[in-house]
Amino acid sequence: MSALPAGLRWPVAERGALVDRLARRAGLGAEVELHGVRVTYDALPGLVRGGGPAVLSVHDADGVDLIAVLGPTDLLGRVPLLSTDGRTRRVPVARVVAALRAGIEASQAGAVEALLDAAGVPGARRPRARAALLAERLRGASMGGGRLVRAAPHAPAVTQAREAGVIGPLGASLLTRALATGLGLAGWAVVGRGALDGRIAPGWVLGWALLMLTALVLERATAWHQGQLALRGGAWVKQTLLRGAMKADPEGYRADGVGGVLARVQESQAIEDLVLSGGLGAVLAGVDLLAAGWVLSRAPGGGWLVALLAAVVAGLLVAAARLRRLQGASTDDRRRLTHLLVERMVGHRTRLAQAAPARWHDDEDDALEAWHRSTRALDGHRVTLAAALQGGWSLAALSELGLQFALAPASPGALALALGGVLWAQIALNAVAGSLEGLVAASISWREIRGLLWSARRPPEVGEAVPPAAVGPGEVLLRAAELRYAWPGRPPVLDGVDLTLRAGDRVLLTGPSGGGKSTLAALMTGLRRPDGGLLLLAGLDPATLGEQRWRQLAVAAPQFHENHVFENSLGFNLLLGRAWPASPEELEEARQLCDALGLDELLARMPGGMGQFVGESGWRMSHGERSRVFLARALLQGAPLVVLDESFAALDPQTLGRCLDVALARAGTLVVIAHP
């Protein structure tokens, strides 16, 4: 670290205070979240250049310390670092990377120099050869950990927008568009008055050309800033929707069905399209309308023209409201059609095997006809609205203008001003028409995705910062008293349930189908919240312990139809409850567990072993093999409480006994749900 200026190295003990100071200096406030990253030798330059604000750990001969990267690099290739005295020091990226790599490169220095000597590399070429050898030998080598400091999802919207980088392009777009509008008005005034007066001097023409050229440059700058806003805003929208999807209640997806979820995804795309297609254009068109109204108000008899423009805008709002109703009806019909299509595709094998051929296409014609009617009405309204906006205003305004000037002739300058205002308003109305459909689609999509946005902004529970007390053998791990749960609009499926689980217990839970066994398992593992009663895990209730820590202490292997093999490697599916990418030790642990569960033959057949892709488009596994993968996934999480819901139903007696022995040996406290 000697290559860095003094005062840029922080002790590890001050990590918490450093994160707070870094968040305040970056303008993130107190609501932040930390994202752990694994720092590797080859990925370090990119992380230093664009990963800030971040706290990176440094390992070298002097020990382990931290550096605080405040933000991305500037135009000169320097990265801002936070010093211990609270100041910002800008250091070249290459210098920072070299200092961070010094420790790990020193461990390879002897071997690299020996190779260079053996190859007889001359002194002038040794630096480049040394760098190439180090890059090859240390490719993917871990250099410690890091923490990316980011605004929390529930932080103020302004803070998130600043972090996403959308405020700068937004302000620049508005400023350049305002300047371009002003210059455009000035240019029209100059050339219009000169043309109508019949006195166009070369100097005025040159001035007009300069004004128009400057306005054109500003328009191009506005388009560039809008592109930056679209890229950054689109990424922000995607990130927010993904966060909301991960935090939303899974029961809401179940109620919508597969088709409903797919339709929601399609509708959410409209919000992103609004950003990517330049939704700011609607705002800028509104600014142009105001500018046109001001120009018309300065013309003789401009009050009538302004009133006429206001009436056109009011009619546009009424037409937009009807457009929203029609498009909403068409969207609902399309959602039903999408749901029907996906349901028929998913259940195609069932239809072929069990449904009468005459009933294979029930309800399809009715759904198509409903969507056709609503779409035809929507298209008719679109055509009428576009025709009215394209020429309706100009025709009405020019007629009014001609009548006024016929009754009270005015100067050529006044006529030029009025004509310029009419044309300006027509251009603005055309821009509004181009953005109107996107705005309406976005307002309809808001109905579908607002739940995801609220989920994304939901603050973490206060109890997530409360560590649970250690539970020793024989002590109470989970306690339920007068537990109650009911599905919406239905009688309680659980009512007055009392249960006590002690660390080390092995419990078999049986009962008839529909008796609430799976619901109780979901309550015990934090997948659902009880409607009433008391539920404690490690002495804390769900609100105090928090969802994330609750699910770390109590894990479940849900029933087969609620579990899933993701389209990824077998190792990824087994270690789903751990950090990814997994370490070699974790992959070896997963492989040994597969051997114990009788999946060794499956692994032997897979060409890629733990790296073999599985899932719908990968290696196909039998029902029993999938069940054992689900079992291994739950056991590998190492939680004190493991709940297995019908995990052994698809296994033969011999394999069942083998898997049960493994579960009994690995689970601290085990609950097995099975039919009697």
pLDDT, tens digit, for every residue of 579-615? 777 788 888 899 999 999 998 888 888 888 888 888 7
Q: What angle separates helix 126-137 from helix 109-119, to the nearest 10 degrees? A: 130
Q: What are the CA-CA distances from residue 195 to residues 191, 202, 401 (Å)?
A: 6, 12, 19
Provide the pLDDT for residue 632.
92
Cα separation of 4 and 8, whole Å? 7
Candidate from 96-110, 191-205, 467-481, 511-525 with smallest mean pLDDT: 191-205
Q: If you write DSSP's letter for every residue of 620-653 in order, what string do you get?
A: ---HHHHHHHHHHHHHTT--SEEEEESTTTTS-H
User: H or E segment at 482?
Assistant: strand 476-486
Which residues share a beta bridge with 614? 619
CB 393 within 8 A of CB 311: no
The arithmetic mean of pLDDT across residues 188-204, rounded, is 64
pLDDT, tens digit, for every residue of 244-254? 777 777 666 66
pLDDT, tens digit, for every residue of 646-661? 888 888 889 899 999 9
pLDDT, tens digit, for every residue of 355-368? 778 777 777 888 88
Provide the pLDDT for residue 661.
92
Compute the residue count for the chain: 676
As a whole-number percent, the residues of the chain with pLDDT over 70 amount to 84
Provide the pLDDT for residue 635.
92
State both tokens at 516.
Answer: 């609430």
The arithmetic mean of pLDDT across residues 115-136, rounded, is 83
Q: Which residue has the tokens 């990424």?
A: 235
pLDDT, tens digit, for every residue of 36-79? 777 888 888 888 888 878 888 766 656 667 888 888 888 788 88
Candidate from 70-74, 169-173, 425-429, 672-676 with smallest mean pLDDT: 425-429
Q: Which residue has the higher pLDDT, 658 or 159?
A: 658
Q: What domains sit in the chain, N to C, each tagged with a CATH number? A: 10-152 (no CATH), 159-456 (1.20.1560.10), 476-674 (3.40.50.300)
Provide the pLDDT for residue 244.
77
Tell me the Cα Rg of the chain.
33
pLDDT, tens digit, for every residue of 275-308? 555 456 667 677 777 777 777 777 766 677 788 8
Provide the pLDDT for residue 138.
85
Provide the pLDDT for residue 410.
60
The arithmetic mean of pLDDT across residues 452-471, rounded, is 66
Provide the pLDDT for residue 1.
43
Is residue 411's pLDDT more than 70?
no
Provide the pLDDT for residue 175.
86
Closest CA to 233 of 271, 176, 283, 286: 271
Q: If you write DSSP's letter for every residue of 78-99 in order, what string do you get?
A: EEEEE-TTS-EEEEEHHHHHHH
Provide the pLDDT for residue 2.
47
CA torsion through residues 350, 352, 358, 362, sign: positive
pLDDT-based confidence at residue 406 (cuts at 50, 70, 90): low
Pairing of strands 10-11, 32-40: unpaired
CB 523 within 8 A of CB 535: yes
Q: What are the CA-CA distances from residue 225 to residues 238, 239, 286, 340, 404 (Å)?
A: 20, 21, 18, 42, 42
Cα separation of 202 and 213, whole Å? 16
Is residue 199's pLDDT more than 80?
no
pTM, 2 dp = 0.67
Cα separation of 401 and 505, whole Å? 90
Cα separation of 627 and 559, whole Å? 9
Q: What angle separates helix 302-346 from helix 412-456, to the nearest 10 degrees? A: 30
Provide the pLDDT for residue 258.
61
Report the chain's mean pLDDT, rounded to a whole number: 80
- Count the alpha carbons within 13 Å of 106 in the hemisphere toward its beta carbon: 11
Residue 468: CB atoms within 10 A of its CB come to 18
pLDDT, tens digit, for every residue of 216-237? 888 888 888 877 887 787 778 7
The arithmetic mean of pLDDT across residues 373-398, rounded, is 78
Is residue 108's pLDDT more than 70?
yes
